Amino acid sequence: MSQRIFITGNRGQLGRELTSRLPEATGGDLPELDITDPASVDAALDAARPDVVIHCAAMTNVDGAARDPALADRINGLGTDHVARAAARLGAALVYVSTNEVFDGTKTEPYLEHDRPNPINAYGQSKLLGEQNAARACSRLYIARTSWVAAQGGKNFPHRILQLADERGRLQVVTDEVACPTFATDLADAILALIATGRFGIYHLTNSGFCSRHAYARKILELTGRGHIPVDAITLADFARPSTPPKFSPLANTAAAALGITLPPWEDALRAFLALGTA
């Protein structure tokens, strides 16, 4: 890609995948790049003079956001404002990575790009604030919503399920939280394909298909020779946690698909992810 690209959060799970594909890209992460400090953002982007900023840096700890909503707003909302303003000042396009949790989970079919956001938790509220701030500050904007992202070498759902299965020999997983498992390899490819189109807007980029956390866990166990391990079905009401996720929040990819950008089925992507053996 001939454009100069800057990646915020380049040491995070998606940032690492993007950087591996873009060895010529520049980027930054904590501690040298603090998106909550506008001077830090301006200095980094002024030095890089990018054509495109891919904004991956975020507070992604959903329960942590519930415990400290002000911090989530500061990082995901105000931090995104700083990045968007700096990008706009330099004439750069911005990719803002957002989430399915901007929706309330009350639909019975996957959310479309134009559906009205209505977050029900602090994390979703902070990410929607980021979307709004980015849209106000930067006209050359891609909003890329995704969900349940897993990457090699990071904290992810497949790794946690395998760890608990081996430790306990029996699992309890919720059946009434439904979304789209997404793998950072496919998400990174989709984001780069989207940038190449030059078509700004809101996009839903997830691996195709959707499932419950319970079905996801069972598939992970099945594909790793642990299909005999029992997985008890529980509900969100049975599983105490600080944050309340939307119950049904799959994302429908209609806008990117119209440009020829699709991601593989989540089951195939999971199989490839587990085959690497470092989940």
> Is residue 225 in some structural domain?
no
Q: Is residue 241 part of a domain?
A: no
149 within domain boundaries:
yes
Query: CA distances (Å), 262 to each of 15, 98, 105, 142, 208, in order?
Result: 20, 18, 23, 16, 8
Residue in this structure with the two tokens 């396009």, named with its chain if needed: 93
Domain with residue 110: its CATH number is 3.40.50.720
pLDDT category at 1 given cuts 50, 70, 90 is: low
CA 206 to CA 265: how far, in whole Å? 9
Q: Is residue 214 assigned to a domain? A: no
Domain assignment present for residue 218? The answer is no
From the list 86, 97, 107, 98, the residue with the least C-alpha distance to 43 is 86
| Pair of tokens at residue 119 | 């977050």
pLDDT in tens, 9-36: 999 999 999 999 999 999 999 999 999 9
Angle at which helix 184-197 crosses helix 266-275, to 10 degrees, equals 120
Give a yes or no: residue 222 inside a domain.
no
Active-site choice (123, 142, 203, 216): 123
269 domain residue, yes or no: no
Residue 107 CB partners (closer than 8 Å, separation 6+): 115, 248
Q: Mind listing the pLDDT tens digit for each residue in 217-275?
A: 999 999 999 999 999 999 999 988 899 999 999 999 999 999 999 999 999 999 999 99
Q: How many domains does the chain have?
A: 1
Q: What is the mean pLDDT of residues 90-98?
A: 98
Residue the block writes with tokens 């998606």: 14
Residue 250, C-beta contacts closer than 8 angstroms, at least 6 positions apart: 100, 110, 111, 147, 178, 179, 180, 206, 210
Expressed as residue numbers, the domain containing 109 is 5-155+180-209+249-264
Are the C-beta atoms of 80 and 126 separated by less than 8 Å?
no
Where residue 278 falls among pLDDT bands split at 50, 70, 90?
very low
DSSP-assigned beta bridge partners for residue 104: none
| Residue 9 counted as domain residue | yes
Give catalytic status of residue 123 as yes or no.
yes
Q: Which two tokens stand for residue 148?
A: 């349940």
